Chains A and B, each alone.
Chain A
Amino acid sequence: MSAKIYDVVIVGAGIVGAACAHECSQSGLRVAVIDQDVIGGGATAAGMGHIVVMDDSDAQFALTRYSQTLWQELRPELPEDVEYEQCGTIWVATDEEEMTEVLRKHAYYSRQGVSVEVLNPGDIERLEPNLRKGMVGGLLVPDDGVLYPPCAARFLMDQAQGRGVTLHLQQTVAQIGKGQLHLADGTRFSSATIVNAAGTWASALTPGIAVKKRKGHLVITDRYPGFVRHQLVELGYLKSAHSVTADSVAFNVQPRQTGQLLIGSSRQYGPEHKEVDPHVLGRMLERAQHYLPALAKTSAIRVWTGFRAATPDKLPLIGPWPSDPSIYLATGHEGLGITTSLATAKLLVDQITGRTSAIPYEPYLPSRSATLEHAHA
């Protein structure tokens, strides 16, 4: 059987793969996308879908900021079912220590030109009356938003297919390397560049990648329009969720356009099974009710879990894989894949085509992976 020939073959039709296909096709590349399941069926389907600016590191800030700008540019084209809602984020401070963090964040974001506003207890009570009384303050980031990821991925893929990208769903990739991709059914693809955007499965295709599964739980309620108006995040999030090894839960609630409340979040290394862990779920909901007491009486209609593709330094892997220059990686986005998908695609195609990039791509290069492996161990 002769190989199908493309410029770029992308493995993975999640939000990152779809964004890469979208960007490649805009640059006139001949592209095929392959996925074992459906569009946006992995972490994309499981995630919260926030479009947020985060500042764990300067590199994380640069990527999230850049990508949020790209989402805002794309916004007029997004169909209704993507449900893009610029609801803003409120980081909630419960004590003076967290308030210090609010002020630090305020200074950092302002310096970088992101609009932010420090909230006093009165502001918090007025903006989010369901939050427990006695909050010390908070930080409002009005440009942050949420969207519905499976439809966003489908929209990007639709656009790409409109420009000639071919999509192969429910196909198992057996092997990639040296410009060749083999499907389990024997079909061969040949291309100068193979993009591994397979999320948590990426390391199965390209052994040695420093990507690990990090399990998360989410709960969605029935419709309670106006119950919360912004995405609410605790500042303990910074202390607990980013602890690289321990299991953790953090308060994070989103209002969806449907009026539903999406309740997160949990982070666990180790479990490989999809089953709901009652203890983690219990702790997560306890945390959420601690911040939003009235949440107790709302009706939860679904619980699910998913796996984030996590790297030790919380930055994604974007660029060529040192051991095989035909392989490019676009994975390891952890909990920020929806936000950073568009910027990832830009930086990836910048490298493939030799374009100048809008922000430096060096911090995300997989070649830093050697040191990362040590960090994991």
Chain B
Amino acid sequence: MANARKHFDVLVVGGGPAGLAAAVSAAEHGARVGLVDDNPALGGQIWRAGVVGHGPGAARWIQRLEATGIEILCGTRVFDSPTQNSLHAEIESGLLELNYQKLVLATGARERFLPFPGWTIPNVMGAGALQALVKSGFPVSDKRVVVAGTGPLLLAVAAYLREHGAKIELICEQASLASLALFAVSILKLRDKITQGLSLRKELAGVRFVAGSWPVTAEGDGALTAVVVSHGQKLEKIACDFLACGFLLVPNTVLPALLGCRLQNGFVEVDRYQQTSVGGIYCAGEPTGIGGVDLSLIEGQVAGSAAAGHAEASRSLFGERRKLQRFSQALDRAFALRSELRGIALPETIVCRCEDVTYERLKPYTSWRNAKLQSRCGMGPCQGRVCGPATEFLLGWSPDSVRPPVFPVRVENLGAMVRDLVPQDSELLRGPQ
């Protein structure tokens, strides 16, 4: 087992837009930076490298990244913080101890799954997950796809799948036409967003889009054959090969919580410089509020510059950040999940896939902890990442306290002790400028 130890002025966890921007900004200010990500390549969920690269938005940042001396550590999964200013991560060959002066958490977000009858049938998947699959070469040519859920992500995914040959049968947007109209008005000032929307409109020309509509049942024996959607008053059955669902994103806050960063309404609390309640630990991107790529990039730059000791560079971005935050607030209002979605899970619907726990087995309990103890909901290998947000929406339960390991980890690495580590670089830590 090759255990190792590394030291950085600024350590960035997460290689999506926020993390890339933070790492690049800190490094351009002269800090010695490490960038870790648990995926095999940088890019995060949104800029996931496919067979054709990261996509145009990412290219500029990858270029800047390559011009710096940032140490990139992909396939590195942080699972614990055994002591202050130090993280433990699992790598293929063993355990890595990461020491830092300043830390930027850019842990991103994941998709929220809402349980409904048939949601566990093969080929019912997250909208982002299906897109990622296609990016890695999975063929969808001539496949009939229904895209359902809420928010601009649905349109982006539908456009992407269509571009790759899929036949988009329907896009179901749960938000009402009225809230969509209000949203359109509220974003009039944000020219970029509108241009983006218009271009998607061209790519989705002729695709059926219905507002105030959501899936109620997925059908199929072995694999998906059809989906029943509700348009409020009436039901409609649509034959399809894939159902791509996207019911908003859930911030990944487990690592910030483990480090003691204060959360508010499920998001990491930060100050103007993206610093969390724990001094020296910054947070950028979706964990501080779902805001998309542009806001993540700005927040990443603010955090990276501040962590490297260049507060004035951070301050120059405050105006742009404020504008983008207003946009994300408008999104939150327009695409809030409607209460009818709480009714689509039937008593026998599985809520926890790891432990096969049905909705009816959860209903008698008053808290997630109680339900977990009695039904094992959330006790499987996903550690409640899927069913936690689902029960939060369905039953109003708040998440449990966070304990290491925050990701499943090999027993040999969980048990590896600090004294077993071989220091790979024993230079004295340099303080930030």
Contact = CB atoms under 8 A, between A and B. Distances in A.
Contacts of B199: none
A282 B416 contact: yes
Nearest to A284: B415
Contacts of A239: none
Contact of B414 (A81, A222, A285, A304): A285
A69 interface: no
A285 B411 contact: yes
Contacts of A301: 380-381, 383, 405, 408
Contacts of A192: none
A41 interface: yes
A295 B380 CA distance: 18
Contact of B374 (A150, A263, A288, A297): A150
Given A38-B367, A279-B417, A150 B408 contact: no
Nearest to A288: B411
A221 interface: yes
A278 B421 CA distance: 14
Contacts of B373: 38, 40-41, 45, 150
Contacts of B415: 281-282, 284-286, 288-289
A154 interface: yes
Contacts of B425: none
Interface in A227-285: 258, 263, 276, 278-279, 281-282, 284-285
Contacts of B381: 222, 299, 301
Given A41-B373, A302-B383, A276 B403 contact: yes
A219 B404 CA distance: 11
B412 A219 contact: no
A282 B410 CA distance: 13
A303 B405 contact: yes
Contacts of A41: 369-370, 373
Given A302-B383, A302-B403, A302-B405, 19 more contacts: A38-B367, A38-B370, A40-B373, A41-B369, A154-B374, A219-B411, A263-B411, A276-B403, A278-B417, A279-B417, A281-B415, A282-B415, A282-B416, A285-B411, A285-B415, A288-B411, A289-B415, A301-B408, A303-B404
Interface of A: 38-41, 45, 81, 150-151, 154, 219, 221-222, 258, 263, 276, 278-279, 281-282, 284-286, 288-289, 295-304
18 contacts: A150-B373, A154-B374, A219-B411, A219-B414, A221-B411, A222-B408, A258-B376, A276-B403, A278-B82, A279-B417, A285-B414, A285-B415, A289-B415, A296-B412, A299-B411, A300-B405, A300-B408, A303-B405
